[in-house]
Amino acid sequence: MKRVSKKITSIMVIFILLLTCTFQSSAAMTENGVAAISIDLEDAFEEQALTYARILCLKHNGSYNGTLLLTCDQHSWVNGEQVWPIYRSTDGGNTWTHIADVTDTVFGTNRKAQPMLYELPQDVGNLKKGTILLAGNLVPYDQSSSRIVIYKSTDRGSTWSYLSTVDTGGPFVYDRSPSSTTTTIWEPFLYVDDYGHLVCAYSDERQKENGVLQALSLRYSSDGVNWSNLVNIVAIENYNDRPGMITVSPLPNGKYIAAYEVVNRPSYNQNSSVVYYKFSDDGITWDASDLGILAQTKDGLCLGSSPYVKWVNAGGPNGMVIIGSKWAVNANGDIQDGGQNFFVNYNLGEGYWERLPQPLTWDGEDITYLDAFSQCIETNVDDTVLYEAANMGNRYGTGCEVRVGTMPLTMGLYEAENATLTDVTIRDNDDASNGREVGYINYSTSVVSFDDIKVPSSGTYTVYVRYNNGTGALSSHSVSVNGGTSFSVYYPPTVDWNRYQWTSFTCSLNSGLNTINFAYNGTYAEIDCIAIYKSGIDLSGDFMIKNRNSGKYLETPSMSTANNTGLVQWGNTGYSCQIWNVAESGTSGYYTLTNKNSGKRCQIYNNSTENGAIAVQYSPSNSYSQQWLLKYTDSGYFQLINRNSNKLLEVMYNLTTDGAAVGQWSETGYPCQEWTFVKEGIQ
C-alpha cells in the first residue's frame, strides 16, 4: 500500500480507464453490485431519497420461483403521492424492471414508509401459499398519525390490494430522548409463527406510562385480516433503552431469532445503536423484560443500527445465521466506518459471531444519504446465493440508489494475512474480513502467495479478490496460477484505503492443492482475502473444531498423512492439519470430518466401542466409525457422538495441554466432551 495523494477528480477520466481495461466484471460481487432503483436529489423531497431497501426471492410460486422483487421507501412524489415502487428481476438481479406502484386507495394518506415484502410459505386463512404481502406505514401529509397496514398481491407483485390494518399509532415523529412523549408505531416485519399465524412485529412508543421509551411488540392473525391483542417482545422499563427495527427469522431447531438495534446504547450520549438478539420457542412467546444478547465477535466488535437477520441453509451442518447492519462498533462503543461485513454464526446463533465479507459496501457513518438504512438479506431458492439490497448515495453525489449485490454461499475464503508473504505488511483493520489485511505490496519483490488452495476437481474457477485501492486511479497486480503465465488483475479505485470492494478473474485449478500468486505490478492496492467459487461445488464446509474445556483445536499432529495417526488437540497454528471439512455422510443427521491436509477422516481406531479408544485419521470409507452426530448443549457447543460406538469424542482426562490425545468415552457431562465450530480466518 502506498498512500498516494494525487487524486483523479474527473469522473470521465475514471470511466474511460475502466472501459479500456480487461478485468472481469460480474454481477455476483464486483462493481459494488447493480443499481436497481435510482433517484436524483432534485426529484426527492428529502436528502435521504431512498431508504429501507427490501428484496424478496419467490420460493413458493411454482415455475416463477427464483423471481426477485424489490421495493424501498422512495421519498418522491408520483401524481402527488409517495408510493412504494415494485421492481422485478428474472435474471438473478442483473437487470430490473419497474412493474407497479403501491398506493393508498383506502385512507387518503399520501406518505408511506418502511415497507417489508413477504411471501407466505403456507396458507393462512383464505390467503394462499405464495401470496405476496407488503407491510408498511401509511402516514398523512401532516404526519399526524402512523398506521401499519398490509397489502397483498396474488400475481407476483404486478397488482396490489389493501388487506388489513394491523395497528394505528400517534404522530409520525422521532424523538429518542428519555423525556419523549411520542406515540408512533414503526417498522413492521412479517413472519409465520409455530402455530401457523401470520405475525407482524413492530416498534411501539405507546407504553411510556410504564417507563418503556419504546417497545418491540407484535400482533398475530389466523387470516391476515383480524389481529390479536398486543404482545411485547422487548419492553425495558428504564426510559433509556429504545429497541427498534426488529427482524425475525425461523431456525431449523424450531426456535426463532429476533435481531434489533437498541438506540441510546451504550449510552444516550454515545449512541451507537448496538445490535442485540434473542430467541423464542414459538415465535410469539418472548421474555419481554430481557433486553437480549449483544451480538459481538470474540474480540469485542459489535454491530450497530438497522439490522437484518436471516438463517440460511448454507455454510455448515447447521447453516448459518447472518446479521447485516449499517455500521460496526468497536469494543469501546465507538462507531467504525463499517458497512463492510456481515456477522455470521454457525452454531444456531449461540456463542460468538464471526465476520463474513459483504458483496456491497457503503459509508457506515454517512448521515446525508443514510446509507444502508436499512439493508435486506435474501437467498435464492436453494440457498446457494445470497442477495443483499441497500440504499446508498451514488458515486456522482447527485442522488441515491438501491444497489443489489449477490454472493455465492458455496465459495471458500482464503485470508491474505495467512498466505505466504514476501516484502509486504500485515495491517490491522476492523473492517477486514478477519480484522487484518495485507498492504504495502509496493516493491518488485512483493508477493502474496496463496499456496494452499484446495479444490475437489479440476476445472475453471472464479477467483474473487477483496481489495482496497485509495489511489484514485486504476491499479493492478500481476497474477500467476500454479506457476503459469502471468496476467493482470485490475482494481478500480475505492473510496479510500479502508473501503473494500471485489474484483474477479477466472482460471484453471487442478484437483488438490493449487497456488495463486499476487505480485507488484507498478501500481498500488491492498488485499483482504480471496474467494474461490465454481458452480455446483460447495467449498464452504471447512472449519476448525475447538474444545470447550481447553480452547484448543482438533488436529492431525505433525501434518501427518498416514492412516491411523492418532488425533490430538493443539493451540491455533494456522496449519491445514487443524482444518476439517464437515459434510453430510449420506445418512440424515450424521456427518464426516475430513482433514484438509491429509484428506482422511476422523474415526475411532479399529472401530472400537470401548471407552478410551483413541480417535485417528483414516482413508474415507462407509464405516459407521467415521460418522458423527452433532448434539447441541448450550452457548454454541455440541457433542460429537460416534455412530458406531454411541460414545462421545473428547480430549482425554480433561487435559488442556498441547498434544493431549483425543478419543471416545461415555457421556460424563464434562466440557472436554463439547466442541464448537470456528471458521473466520482459517485458510
Domain boundary among 533, 561, 576: 533
pLDDT band at 47 (very low <50, low <70, confident <90, very high): confident
pLDDT tens digits, residue range 210-255? 999 999 999 999 999 999 999 999 999 999 999 999 999 999 999 9
Residues 137-192 have pLDDT tens digits of 999 999 999 999 999 999 999 999 999 999 999 999 999 999 999 999 999 999 99
Which residue, 301, 239, 241, 281, is CA-closest to 265? 241
* 396 and 474 inside one domain: no
**b vs e for 57-82, b when ≥16 Cβ sit within 10 Å of the residue's Cβ?**
bbbbeeeeebbbbbbbbbbbeeeeeb
**Is the same domain home to 574 and 513?**
no
DSSP string, 296-324: BBTT--EEESS-EEEEES-SSTT-EEEEE
Tell me: do 655 and 577 sit in the same domain. yes
Query: In this structure, are 224 and 76 located in the same domain?
Result: yes
What rounded mean pLDDT belongs to the chain? 93
What pLDDT does residue 413 have?
95
Q: What is the mean pLDDT of residues 571-586?
A: 93
Domain carrying residue 575: 542-678
Please check whether residues 546 and 670 belong to one and the same domain: yes
pLDDT at 28: 63
For the entire predicted model, the pTM comes to: 0.93
Q: Over 70: is that where the pLDDT of 195 sits?
A: yes
DSSP 613: P
Strands 512-520 and 447-455: antiparallel
Q: How far apart are CA 102 and CA 97, in angstroms?
A: 15
Q: From the CB of residue 35, how many other CB atoms can be counted at a distance below 10 Å?
A: 16
Phi/psi at 509 (nearest 5 deg)?
Answer: -120, 150
Per residue in 268-314, pLDDT (tens digit) is 999 999 999 999 999 999 999 999 999 999 989 999 999 999 999 99
Is residue 313 one of the residues assigned to a domain? yes
Q: Which of 384, 408, 432 is the last residue of a domain?
A: 408
Number of domains the chain is built from: 3
Q: Which three cell numbers stand for residue 74?
A: 422512495
Q: Are residues 68 and 207 in the same domain?
A: yes
* Share above pLDDT 90 across residues of the chain, in percent, rounded to a whole number: 89
- Assigned C-alpha cell, 518: 499476487
pLDDT at 356: 95
Question: Is residue 96 predicted with pLDDT exceeding 60?
Answer: yes
**Residues 524 and 625 placed together within one structural domain of the fold:** no
| Domain boundary residue, one of 408, 432, 465 | 408
Decide: residue 17, CB within 10 A, 0-12 exposed, 13-18 middle, 19+ buried.
Answer: middle
The CATH number of the domain where 378 resides is what?
2.120.10.10
b/e code 273-309 from CB counts within 10 Å (16+ = b)? bbbbbbbbeebbebebeebbbbbbbeeebbbbbbbbb
| pLDDT confidence bin for 439, thresholds 50/70/90 | very high
Summarised one tens digit per residue, pLDDT across range 382-429 is 999 999 999 998 877 788 999 999 999 999 999 999 999 999 999 999
- Model confidence at 479, pLDDT cuts 50, 70, 90, reads very high
Q: Are residues 252 and 338 in the same domain?
A: yes
pLDDT of residue 681: 83
Q: What tens digit of pLDDT does each residue of 313-349 get?
A: 999 999 999 999 999 999 999 998 777 999 999 999 9
612 shares a domain with 501 = no
Q: In the prediction, which pLDDT does 252 show? A: 94
* 514 residue type, one letter: N
Is 566 contained in some domain?
Answer: yes
256-263 average pLDDT score: 98
In this structure, the answer to whether residues 251 and 342 fall within a common structural domain is yes
Per-residue model confidence (pLDDT) at position 14: 34
Q: What's residue 369's pLDDT?
A: 82
pLDDT at position 394, please?
80
